[in-house]
Amino acid sequence: MLRCRYHRICACPTIALSAIAALLLVGLVGCGKDETRVRPESVVQPIPKDALVVDFPDGKFGANIIETVAGDVATVNPLVNESVGGSVVIGRILDSLTTLDPKTGEVIPNLAKSWEVSEDRLQYTFHIREGVHWSDGQPFTAEDVVFTWQTFFAKKLDPDTGEVLTDKDGRPLYRYNSRSTFGQQINGQEPQVEMIDAHTVRFTTPEVYAPFLLFGGGVEILPKHILHEAYEDGTLMDQWSVETAINEPWKIVGLNMFVLEAYRPGERMVFARNPNYWKVNSAGQRLPYVDRIISKIVQDANSSNVAFAQGQTDFESIGPDNVAWVRRGEERFDYTVLDMGPSSTTNFIWFNLNPGNNAEGEPYVAPYKFEWFSDKRFRQAISYGINREGIIRGVFFNRADILHGYVSPKRKFWYNDDIRKYPYEIEKSRALFREMGFEYRDGDLFDGKGRRVEFSLITNSNNGLRVEMATVFKENMATLGIEVELQFLDFNTIVTKISDAFDYEACMLGLGGGAPDPYAGKDILMSGGRMHFWYPQQQTPATEWEARIDELMREVGRHTEVEVRKKYFNEVQVILAEQQPLIFLVSAKDYAGYRNRWHNVEPTPLGGVTWNTESLWAEVSE
């Protein structure tokens, strides 16, 4: 819920943003435990020998960024995190060996200044920048890289024999089963990592793996000196919790440009500049220019847009339904709204196809509904019954595109237009239901055993557009004689339901664009993935078509020729369109805004407006 106090503090146009930031920070002290804990003095190390010189005009130091963040923090541990708020914190604190060029999408050096790839493309040797330190002043070395990967693949051992414990199929059991445990395996095998010296680390992949520079090099590095003890005693997954963020945020150390200075659940996060950041401007001054980022936590994206339109925040992603009225304030509040073009985000619905049981031995989904959901004809009939054009007109005000499949048209190279599509055709829906043995009685749909067709759909309450889409979906289903119960929940509750409790029937969510490589979707598309939404972390593929997708994705990963990779990924898209495990809806167009007081703003379709945060600066009012 958006706190009125925040509006009152920020709404006054005569107060400089630096003063507003000071007021916000005052509000963070003197409350509960915060006042009894003292942040240790930061150890500021010399600028690194291999500091990266950023190619932007030099600016002035001292301004603060004020923004809003949709959703609260559930954890700051990257091995556990599933929330948007947690991702914001982690992304600002941790960093990786490689990154993406925001203009070209190519993999470029980051914490690694260079690398070599062996002729057989099985070995990757990274050379780490010398003189880089963690935010607490401790040196960053290849040991940290090796440690990070050890956390992914540490095995459970028999306490008596010391042998690796395995499941019933002979697969090793992992001590810390995170998303990376699956995501960083290469066709079920682990890459090997070794420290050559303090500034050199070498990876050996079990087979050719085309996107290793992107996905292996893009891993967020963990600090061994902070987390090794927890790694040894088995409490690693409990570290960097919400309690840490509240009471001892300085324990969350990183290599990126900010550290977490303070966190108030449901209210705000404050990030301070990392005194040991490894990028500098052309004058050799350590970046970023920004002193702090104050992130106000809101539960509603519309409230976020309102705050920006009233001049209360500095940067904003603007919903397509709000663009027209937000633009009306450009001159008065001195900001700019940008049309960033087609989005790479996706919105979709899926049914719970997990055949398991809960702790009480009851099935996650009622058996008769599970039978419905498991029949592709049911999913196809639902898809034909969705008026996507109506959603675009009524919800997005024509600022969205129909999404036929897994890949957004923005990803032009990987987009396959030659797939089965599902226009709004109610009679096709009804024909598929009749084919399944269903029948209509007074306009209501019943299955072959006389049970009314009805199900519940969950979606996140803080996304106004999604709430509206769900409402349209309910109306569309009513036309088909299906009763849909809508449940609007907070995002963290939904994450628990779809990834742990599995006590739901259908869900509507969306995904950001991610990296511009099809293998970025491995965790979603492959049957063993943690984000294989409809039935995650399968020990073996539940269906033949999922087994085929697994096989195709392995080929996408092992080939380096892009046309060959595209051929395999095209088939993946064909199967997904036919089976409809994810029923895709629309892809919104991107709009972003920023206050005109900021300099060095160079938006790109891939990087957005704030991709170069370290170089952004603004005049500071006295």
- Mutual orientation of helices 224-233 and 142-153 as an angle, nearest 10°? 30
Strand partners, 107: 100
Tell me the pLDDT tens digit for each residue of 338-357: 999 888 889 999 999 999 99
Say how far apart CA 455 and CA 232 lie, in whole Å.
Answer: 46
Tell me the residue type at 236: L
Task: Flag whether pLDDT at 507 surpasses 70.
Answer: yes
Give the three-state DSSP class for 357: strand
The CA-atom distances, in angstroms, between 318 and each of 203, 336, 396, 596 are: 41, 11, 12, 16
Task: Flag whether pLDDT at 123 surpasses 70.
Answer: yes
Specify the pLDDT at position 514: 61
Higher pLDDT, 299 or 2: 299
Any idea which residue has 């809960």 for tokens? Answer: 358
| Joined tokens for residue 16 | 């400089």
Q: Is the Cβ–Cβ distance between 233 and 264 less than 8 Å?
A: no
Say how far apart CA 611 and CA 622 lie, in whole Å.
Answer: 28
Specify the pLDDT at position 109: 98
**Angle at Cα 169 formed by Cα 166 and Cα 170, nearest 5°?**
40
3-state SS, 358-404, equals: CCCCCECCCHHHHHHHHCHHHHHHHHHCCCHHHHHHHCCCCCEEECC
Q: In the CATH hierarchy, which fold is given to the domain comprising 98-225?
A: Dipeptide-binding Protein; domain 1 (3.90.76)
Strand partners, 69: 297
Specify the pLDDT at position 36: 46
DSSP strand pairing (292-298 vs 268-273): antiparallel
Question: CB-based burial of residue 104 (10 Å sphere; 0-12 exposed, 13-18 middle, 19+ buried)?
Answer: exposed
Specify the pLDDT at position 550: 97
Higher pLDDT, 94 or 311: 94
Q: In the CATH hierarchy, which fold is given to the domain comprising 346-588?
A: Dipeptide-binding Protein; domain 3 (3.10.105)
Binning pLDDT at 50, 70 and 90, where does residue 303 land?
confident
Return the exposure string of 602-620: e unless at least 16 CB atoms fall within 10 Å of the residue's CB, then b. Answer: ebebbeebbbbbbbbbbeb
Percent helix, strand and coil across the chain, each rounded to 5? 30, 25, 45
Q: Is the Cβ–Cβ distance between 67 and 594 less than 8 Å?
A: no
| Joined tokens for residue 66 | 């004020």
What percent of the chain clears pLDDT 70, i.e. is strictly above it?
93
Phi-psi region of 398 (alpha: psi -120 to 50; beta: other; left: phi over 0): left
Q: Is the Cβ–Cβ distance between 266 and 87 less than 8 Å?
A: no
Tell me the pLDDT tens digit for each residue of 124-146: 999 999 999 999 999 999 999 99
Q: Is the Cβ–Cβ distance between 295 and 268 less than 8 Å?
A: yes
Specify the pLDDT at position 513: 63
Give the three-state DSSP class for 583: strand
Provide the Cα torsion 117, 121, 122, 123; round to 10°: -10
| Joined tokens for residue 403 | 């999404």
Assigned architecture for domain 4-92+235-342+590-618? 3-Layer(aba) Sandwich (3.40)
Q: How many CB atoms lie within 10 A of CB 486?
A: 14
| Joined tokens for residue 244 | 């840490």
Task: Flag whether pLDDT at 204 surpasses 50.
Answer: yes
The CA-atom distances, in angstroms, between 134 and each of 144, 201, 219, 287, 330 are: 10, 18, 16, 15, 40
Q: Where are the domains of the chain?
A: 4-92+235-342+590-618, 98-225, 346-588
Question: CB-based burial of residue 586 (10 Å sphere; 0-12 exposed, 13-18 middle, 19+ buried)?
Answer: buried
The CA R_g of the chain, rounded to the nearest whole Å, is: 25
Task: Flag whether pLDDT at 199 surpasses 90.
Answer: yes
Provide the Cα torsion 503, 509, 512, 514; round to 10°: 40
Strand positions, DSSP E, 380-512: 400-402, 439-441, 444-446, 454-460, 483-489, 506-511
Any idea which residue has 């150390």 for tokens? Answer: 253
Tell me the pLDDT tens digit for each residue of 4-41: 222 221 222 222 333 333 333 333 333 334 444 677 88
Task: Flag whether pLDDT at 1 surpasses 60.
Answer: no
Across the chain, mean pLDDT equals 90
Strand partners, 348: 509, 584
Q: How many CB atoms lie within 10 A of CB 331?
A: 8
Task: Flag whether pLDDT at 584 surpasses 80.
Answer: yes
Mean pLDDT of the region 241-248: 95
**Angle at Cα 228 formed by Cα 165 and Cα 181, nearest 5°?**
45
Specify the pLDDT at position 344: 82
Specify the pLDDT at position 10: 27
Q: Is the Cβ–Cβ distance between 308 and 471 less than 8 Å?
A: no
Say how far apart CA 18 and CA 61 lie, in whole Å.
Answer: 12
Tell me the pLDDT tens digit for each residue of 417-433: 999 999 999 999 999 99
Specify the pLDDT at position 381: 98
- Mutual orientation of helices 376-384 and 426-435 as an angle, nearest 10°? 160
| Joined tokens for residue 116 | 């070599």
Tell me the residue type at 471: T
Say how far apart CA 208 and CA 186 lie, in whole Å.
Answer: 9
DSSP category for residue 39: P
Say how far apart CA 146 and CA 89 lie, in whole Å.
Answer: 23
Mean pLDDT of the region 206-224: 95
Q: Is the Cβ–Cβ distance between 316 and 68 less than 8 Å?
A: yes
Consecutive H or E run containing 263: strand 258-264
Say how far apart CA 370 and CA 36 lie, in whole Å.
Answer: 53
Mean pLDDT of the region 68-81: 88
Task: Flag whether pLDDT at 492 surpasses 50.
Answer: yes
Is-cis flag, bond preceding 288, omega within 30?
yes
The CA-atom distances, in angstroms, between 5 and each of 1, 8, 11, 20, 296 are: 12, 5, 10, 12, 11
Task: Flag whether pLDDT at 494 surpasses 80.
Answer: yes
Phi-psi region of 8 (alpha: psi -120 to 50; beta: other; left: phi over 0): alpha
Say how far apart CA 586 and CA 408 lie, in whole Å.
Answer: 9
Binning pLDDT at 50, 70 and 90, where does residue 197 land?
very high
| Joined tokens for residue 546 | 């999922």
